[in-house]
Amino acid sequence: MPLVMAVVAAGRGRGKTALVELICRALSRDFTVWTVKHLSQSFDMRDKDTWRHIAAGSNGTIGVSPEEVVTLKPRREASVEDALDEVPAGVDLVLVEGFRKSQYPKVLVAKTVDEAAKQLPKIDGVFALCIQGEEPGKTKVVGKAPVLSEEELIERVKEMVVADQVKRLPGINCRKCGYPSCEALVQAIKEGKGSLKQCRTLLESDLGLFVDGNQVFLSPFPRMFVKNVLLAMVGTLKGVDSGKMARLLIEVRI
C-alpha cells in the first residue's frame, strides 16, 4: 500500500486542485504518483453508450479513446477505498483531492487563518495548512498544525514518502539492491541517492506472508520452500488444476 494523503478545503475555490498539481509536478520526477479526485456527480454521462452498458447490467465497462482508457465500475456508495483498490503495485504516493472524512493524513487549504482555525476541529488528521496569501513565517501554527509555504509543504511530503518507503524495506540484507545492508539502502534513500525500486526483494517476491496485517519477508531458500510445499499440497486437491493456477491465497485464523 503506498502512502496516501488528502488535500481538503473549507469549500470551493480554495485551490485544492492547484495544490495537487503542484505536488504532482514536484514529486513525479523522483516518485510514482497517482491521484484520486472526489466528484460530486457521476463521471459517466446518462444515455451515453458506456452508461447504457452499465444500465443493462454490466459489472464493469471499459471505454477506449485515442488518448485514454477509462474503466467504469458501478458502486452503490463508492468510497475512497474503492478507488485505492485500483491503484497498481509500485506506486509511491496517492494524492486524494477531497474526502474530508477519510482516515488519511491531510493538508487543509484555507483562505485565511481564521477559516482554518474554524475548520480544524471538524477534520481529523490534518498535518499541515496552506493559507492563501499568507506571508511566509507570519503565522507558524494554527492549533497543532503548522502553516507551510508551498516549498515547505513539498519538502514535508517528500520526507513522508521517504519515511514510508523506509518502513517497507524487508530488513533481510540480501544485497540485491547493490548496498551491503537494508540499513545502507535506507540511508541512501534518505539522502536522495537511492530508491525503493532498487529493492529486488520487494519487486521480485513471489510469496507474500502476512502476520496480523504486517508483511514478513523471507530469504530466497525458505521462500522457495514454503511456496513449493503450498503448491504441491493444493495441487493434489480435487477441482484444482495445478497447471492453470496463477495466484494462491491462504488465510489462517488463529
Taking the domains of the chain in order of start, what are their residue ranges? 3-160, 170-204, 205-254
3-160 maps to which CATH number? 3.40.50.300
Backbone angles phi, psi at 8, to 5 degrees: -125, 165
The pLDDT assigned to 138 comes to 67
The pLDDT assigned to 210 comes to 75
Among 207, 128, 225, 125, which residue's Cα sits nearest to residue 170?
Answer: 207
The CATH class of 170-204 is: mainly alpha
Q: What is the pTM of this model?
A: 0.72
What 3-state DSSP class applies to 12? Answer: coil
The pLDDT assigned to 11 comes to 83
The pLDDT assigned to 184 comes to 87
- Flag residues of the chain having pLDDT under 50: none
Distance, CA of 17 to CA of 29 (rounded, Å):
19
Q: Do domains 3-160 and 170-204 have the same CATH topology?
A: no
For residue 25, what is its C-alpha cell?
A: 509536478
The pLDDT assigned to 246 comes to 81
Among 160, 237, 232, which residue's Cα sits nearest to residue 6?
Answer: 160
